[in-house]
Amino acid sequence: MKVLGIDPGSRSTGWGVVTREQGRYRLVAAGAIHTKSDTPMPQRLLAIHQGLAAVILLHEPEVIAIEAIFAHKSAASALVLGQARGVALVAAAASGRPVFEYNAMTIKSSVAGSGRADKEAIGRMVAVLLGGRVEGPHDAVDAVAIAMTHHAHAHRHAAAERLATVTSAATRTAATRASSIRASPQAPTLAPRAPAARRLPKLPAASASPPRPSEEVDE
């Protein structure tokens, strides 16, 4: 699987394309999109968008991973970073590829084994995993680390996707069955009939007085 990692930034947006074959990482390409601080922000954002779109078109990644937003001490810096990250997400979404986001702690722990690792530690571990250092600025190295993070978590996403597919299929089947039951005609419900009254045999009427003995005639 070929993964494009993106480390967004208003001055430098790093990117790195990494594959994993037989358990080993292989670097396809890495670099950074630089913008000048004296350039108006709309033009800088446009350059980031166009640069990432060109990278996606050239290397044709299957999946795109990007660093998630994090808390920043300066509100102004957070706003500018959010704008750069926004255009990166737009470029990724416009390509039609699946997009995944990872926070900084997840990236550090996945690559360097510690959520508190600094850039130097991440750079060393990336070089160890690749068998060589990544040529370019720190932003490119960070982007490669983001791509590696997705490779490390790909099995979890695949399992979640399979579960979602099974759940969706089961939901559709249940809905179809319920719809067919509602649509099928129901047999008329008959009210229970009371049992017919039995007629008792009529008994002969009792005599008011006992029968009189027959009179004998004397001859």
Distances (CA, A) of 159 to 23, 33, 170, 199: 19, 34, 17, 75
- Told to judge if 161 belongs to the known catalytic residues of this protein, a careful annotator would answer no
- Token pair of 190, please? 């008959």
Q: Are 91 and 49 in contact (CB under 8 A)?
A: yes
Exactly one of 139, 142, 215, 218 is catalytic; which is it? 139
- Told to judge if 101 belongs to the known catalytic residues of this protein, a careful annotator would answer no
The rounded radius of gyration (Å) of the Cα atoms in the chain is: 41
3-state secondary structure of 171: helix
Exactly one of 21, 67, 118, 215 is catalytic; which is it? 67
Exactly one of 7, 60, 118, 161 is catalytic; which is it? 7
- Told to judge if 38 belongs to the known catalytic residues of this protein, a careful annotator would answer no
Distances (CA, A) of 35 to 41, 45, 99: 9, 9, 24
What amino acid positions are annotated as catalytic residues? 7, 67, 139
